Amino acid sequence: MQEAQSVSVKKKRKGLTLKAQRNLIGYLFVLPALLIFCIFVLIPLIMSVYLSFFESDMFFLSMEYVGFDNFAQVFQDSLYWTSILNILCYTLMAVPMNIILSMILALLVNSDRRGVKAYRFLFYLPSVTSTVAASTVWLWMMNTSYGLLNDIFALFGLPGGTWLTHSSTALVSVTLVTVWQGVGANMIIFVAALQNMPTQVYEAAKLDGAGPLTIFFRITFPLIAPTMYFILTMTLIGAFQLYDQIYVLTSGGPANATLTPVYLIWQNSFGTNAGRQAGYAAAQAFVLFLIIMIVNLLIRRLDKKVNG
């Protein structure tokens, strides 16, 4: 009996090493996330690239292979390039504004003073508010006749803004809303980075007579550069994917001034222009993916140059 047991133990050891057992447990933990990632990200991504070579509806029912025709069409589509131009303008406004403001707020709330936590909570609150709900409130606030913002302007004898109703102000107005909503999340990340700073470096700088500005530019800024790079990358990707605020605030108007690539892709896939446009929308999405990737590679290169 004992002999039989020892044989079975030996066999077991032969079958699965301790390292493999540990790996197996690891894989099992990762499995649910991997499944979700594959079903909702990887498979749709591959399908979308595949779809971009076909003229098709969303249900793959009547697919006709068109080669690179959809991509050729993307490069001739003035609406698509209007949307790309819009998103570049938006990115140039929103990303620096978001990072600078979140950094300033982070510096302001990075202390142990009384009441600071309440401010952190207040600044972070818009980030946890539903985008649709917040945008609907802003829609009312920016109403040119009844809106709160123009009422405030009127109190000071200033003329009201056109906000979302004019093509020259609509994108700026949308930017204000998205920055208001996004700044809190980045502030929290900056605060986390600031709280991990080595205090002795600051003490040494102070002993050497460095002022607050010198400390910020010579110590704080270089030390939070990796965090800055992370925030820049994430904010940039988020900016290029702007959709929900546009859906609620402007529907891409007026005069396509706030039309964004993702909104246009949605329109082609599910919206007013749906039909046999799913393949074309997939091609538009793929081109957008390439643009985002190129921009990120450029930033990465820049980061390497600056920070080594």
Partner 1 sequence: MKKLLGLCLSAILALTAVFGATACSTTSANDYSEYTDDGRLILTIWAPDQYANATIRSRFQAWLDDFNETDKIKELGVYLEFSPFTQLPTTLSTACISGPHMMPDIVIWDRFATPSNTTYLMPIDDLLEEDNIDTSVFLDEAYDELTVNGSQYGLPLDADPWGIYVNMDIVNTYNDQNSASAIDVDSLDTWSELIDAADKLTIRDGSNVTRSGLNTTSADGQFFSFVYTGTGELIDTDENSSAYGDTVMSTDSADIFTDGESMRVYDTLAFFKELYALNLCNTGHGGTDAFGNGLLAMTYGSIYFPQELSSYSIKNYKMLPYPARDLTYINVNTEQGAHGESLVASETDSTGMQNGQVGGMLGGYGLAIPQPVMENMRTDEWRSHVEKAWEVIKLWLLDDEMNESYFTANEVITCRSDLWNNAFYTENTGVIGDILPYLENYKMRPSVAGYEVFESSIVRADIQMLKEGSLTVLATYEKIRDDGNALLRQAQGRS
Residues in touch with partner 1 (CB under 8 A): 16-17, 20, 23-24, 27, 31, 34-35, 38-39, 43, 55, 57-59, 61, 73, 76-79, 143-146, 162, 165-168, 252-256, 259, 267, 270-277, 280
C-beta of 31: minimal distance to partner 1 in Å?
7
Q: Which is nearer to partner 1, 31 or 92 (CB)?
A: 31
Q: Which is nearer to partner 1, 72 or 237 (CB)?
A: 72
Q: Across the strands, what pairs with 55? A: 64
C-beta of 270: minimal distance to partner 1 in Å?
5
Q: What are phi and psi of 224, to 5 degrees?
A: -100, 10
C-beta of 170: minimal distance to partner 1 in Å?
10
What are 134's two structure tokens?
A: 């917040």
Q: How far apart are CA 176 and CA 174, in angstroms?
A: 5
Yes or no: say if 57 and 278 are a contact pair by the CB < 8 Å rule.
yes
Q: Which is nearer to partner 1, 170 or 228 (CB)?
A: 170
C-beta of 48: minimal distance to partner 1 in Å?
16
CA 150 from chain centre, in angstroms, equals: 30
Pairing of strands 54-55, 64-65: antiparallel
Q: Which is nearer to partner 1, 148 or 192 (CB)?
A: 148
Cα–Cα separations (whole angstroms), residue 158 to 141, 146, 151, 152, 163: 16, 15, 9, 9, 14
C-beta of 158: minimal distance to partner 1 in Å?
14
Question: Taking the chain, what is the end-to-end CA distance rounded to the nearest angstrom?
Answer: 66
Q: Which is nearer to partner 1, 4 or 61 (CB)?
A: 61
Q: Which residue has the tokens 């493999």?
A: 20
R_g of the chain computed on alpha carbons: 26
Q: Which is nearer to partner 1, 162 or 296 (CB)?
A: 162
C-beta of 288: minimal distance to partner 1 in Å?
18
C-beta of 210: minimal distance to partner 1 in Å?
51
- The 3-state DSSP composition of the chain as helix, strand, coil percent (nearest 5) reads 75, 0, 25
DSSP-derived secondary structure letter, 303: H
Yes or no: say if 177 and 126 are a contact pair by the CB < 8 Å rule.
no
Q: Which is nearer to partner 1, 4 or 33 (CB)?
A: 33
DSSP-derived secondary structure letter, 163: G
